[in-house]
Homo-oligomer: A and B are copies of this chain.
Amino acid sequence: MRKVFTSELSHIGEDLTAMSKQVHTAITTASQALLRSDLTLAQQVIAADDAIDAAQTELDERCVMVLARQQPVAFDLRLVVTALRMSGSLERMGDLARHIAQTARRRAPAAAFPEEARELFTDFAAASERVATRLIEVLTTHDLELALSLEADDDALDELHRRALSMTQAAQWSGTAHHTVDVTLLARFYERFGDHAVTISQRMQYLLTGSSDAPAAADVAGMTTAP
Contacts and interface: CB of A to CB of B under 8 A. Distances in A.
A68 interface: yes
Interface residue SS majority, chain A: helix
Interface in A170-227: 173, 177-178, 180-181, 184-185, 188, 215, 218-223, 225-227
Contact of A173 (B56, B77, B177, B221): B177
A107 interface: no
A172 B199 CA distance: 42
Given A53-B215, A85-B88, A88-B88, A226 B68 contact: yes
Copies of this chain present in the complex amount to: 2
B221 A57 contact: yes
A169 B178 CA distance: 6
Interface in A35-81: 53, 56-57, 60-62, 64-65, 67-69, 71, 73-74, 77-78, 81
A222 B77 contact: no
A18 interface: no
A168 interface: yes
Contacts of A173: 177
Interface of A: 53, 56-57, 60-62, 64-65, 67-69, 71, 73-74, 77-78, 81, 84-85, 88, 165, 168-169, 173, 177-178, 180-181, 184-185, 188, 215, 218-223, 225-227
